[in-house]
Structure 1
């Protein structure tokens, strides 16, 4: 009976615990605009603006900025970061679709012919997590 009681109360708390992802973005080139972070939780949603799980934003500062994405359940995630230098809340691209603003990803870099895949960027969160990303 004691084991059943323990499982009834401890396991649900563990399953639904909320974590914080602390993001440090390095190599910010100017104080113009904002640094935006998008959190994705699947290959199907990755880099689709209408399927972002969670976002965070902080004013740009030359060098390094830090922000926190809070209330994240345990799971696998990938981040996309961009420096919105003109504060228009969108990633500006040229006529070919190539970003004009700096872009970075968790655990992967931009490829010659496009962004990395979700599986290249994914990381696991089981407790509070800190990640460093180079713009």
Structure 2
């Protein structure tokens, strides 16, 4: 019976769970929250309902730190915004241009829109720390 249990446990032992620490710089005030979305594929990138997970924390002027535990190895991209008014949505103008500060892993806004998943993606194989500027 023990051998059978170990047989089923071995595949799970190979799935490493990693901690991702995200340090967000350029936070202009303590008001509102820092909202972070984690994506694991290009197809749903920047679609709120397609995010693998979302994390938020109170904004801290200067640098705000978020931690995500138990992420398996993989390719990820992050999108962040400072929800200054605390309404839990990214406020935009009538053209759809964000009115609140935003940031991405490994990339910045382009002249005519946001970067793609490939621009923002990174490989997570072990615990990692990422810096993102708003």
Deviations 1:11-44 (A, max 9, x none): 6412x12111100000100111000110000000
Q: Mind listing any 5+ residue stretches in structure 2 that lack a counterpart? A: 1-6
Decide whether the 8 Å contact of 1:55 with 1:69 is kept in 2: no
- Give me the whole-angstrom Cα distance separating, in 2, the residues matched to 1:94 and 1:115: 15
Checking the alignment, whether the CA contact within 8 Å between 1:36 and 1:81 is kept in structure 2 is yes
Match of 2:127 in 1: 128
TM-score normalised according to structure 1 size: 0.90
Q: Secondary structure at the match of 2:13?
A: helix
CA contact (8 A) 1:20 1:127 kept: yes
* Aligned positions of 1:84-123 closer than 5 A: 84-123=83-122
Q: Which residue of 2 aligns with 1:3?
A: none
Specify the alignment match of 2:13 in structure 1: 13
Equivalents in 2 of 1:91, 1:132: separation in Å?
21
Unaligned runs of 5+ in 1: 1-6
Moved over 4 A (4+): 7-12
TM-score, normalised on structure 2? 0.91
- Partner Cα distance (1:8, 1:90) in 2: 42
| RMSD of equivalent CA atoms | 1.6
Contact 1:21 1:129 in 2 (8 A): yes
Residue 70 of structure 1 and its aligned partner are, at CA, apart by: 1.3
1:21-40 equivalent positions in 2, closer than 5 A: 21-40=20-39
Aligned length: 129
